[in-house]
Amino acid sequence: MKETNEANANMTKRQLQALKTKNKIYQAAVQEINEKGYNNVNIEDITKAAEVAKGTFDVPFDSKEAIILYTFEHSDEIYEEAYEKIEGESFLDMAVHFVRYSYREYEKRGKGIIRAMISNYFHFEDYEIYSHDRGLYKCLLRIVREGKKQGVLDAETPAEYYADMLLSTMVGVEVMWCFDDLGRSLAEMMEDAILVTAIGLTGVEEHDGDTEITAS
C-alpha cells in the first residue's frame, strides 16, 4: 500500500484521472458481475453502470477477461498487506492469520466476481494464475520458511512442497465456497481449512496458539 501511494504521488494529473476512471470502471464491473453473473454482463452494461463513454472501456480494459486478470493482479496487494501484519508470529498463527486478514478483504468483492475468477482459471494462456512469481506464492514461501526456522517444519522437505499444500487448500476452499448455499464466510472457512492443513504439515497433535478450529 505504501508503494502504491508513493507511485500515485508521482503521477501527472492526466495519469491520476486515468487511474480514477479505471477504478470507476472496475468497481462498476464488479458490481454488475456480482448482481447479474459474469456471462450475463457485457461491456455496455459496465460502461453504463460506470457512467463513462463506451470507448473509454478500451483504455484501461479491453475485455471482460481483462477485468478478471486485473482482479488476480490486485489480489497480490491484499496478500502482501496481510503478510505485513503477521511477521514475527508462530508458523501456525502466521498461516491462519494470513488467510484471515487477506480473505476478509478478498471476500468483500462478492461471490459473483470470485466465481468469475475461478471459471477463468484456464483462460489466460500467458498468465499463470498460481505462478511461483506471484505475490501470493511468495508470501506462502515466507511463511513456510519461517516455520522451518522455528523448527516446526521438516528442514529436509522443500519449502515449495509445503507452500503447494497450503495453496492447494486455499484453491479448494475457494471453489467449495462458490458452491456453498449456507451463507458461510469464505474467510472463516479458509481459516478452519488452513489450520487443519498447517497442523498436518507440522505433525503436531494440537495447537497452543491463539487460533482455534471452529465449526463452519
For 106, residues 6+ apart whose C-beta sits below 8 A from its C-beta are 75, 78, 114, 186, 187
Within this chain, do residues 116 and 183 fall inside the same structural domain, yes or no? yes
- pLDDT value of residue 47: 87
> Which residue would you say has higher pLDDT here, 9 or 102?
102
Within this chain, do residues 142 and 213 fall inside the same structural domain, yes or no? yes
The answer, yes or no, to whether residue 216 has pLDDT greater than 70, is no
How many structural domains does the chain have? 2
Question: Are the C-beta atoms of residues 46 and 65 closer than 8 Å to each other?
Answer: no
Band (pLDDT 50/70/90 cuts) for residue 213 is: very low
Within this chain, do residues 171 and 190 fall inside the same structural domain, yes or no? yes
Round to whole Å and give the CA distance between 67 and 2: 24
* CATH code at position 10: 1.10.10.60
Segments forming the whole domain that contains residue 208 = 64-216
Question: Are the C-beta atoms of residues 71 and 77 closer than 8 Å to each other?
Answer: no
Helix or strand (DSSP H, E) at 10: none
Within this chain, do residues 71 and 173 fall inside the same structural domain, yes or no? yes
Within this chain, do residues 40 and 136 fall inside the same structural domain, yes or no? no
The answer, yes or no, to whether residue 5 has pLDDT greater than 70, is no
Show which of 39, 62, 85 is a domain's final residue.
62
pLDDT, tens digit, 9 for 90 and up, residues 48-60: 898 887 666 666 7
Within this chain, do residues 129 and 206 fall inside the same structural domain, yes or no? yes
Q: What is the mean pLDDT of residues 111-133?
A: 82
Band (pLDDT 50/70/90 cuts) for residue 15 is: confident
What is this structure's pTM? Answer: 0.82
- pLDDT value of residue 132: 86
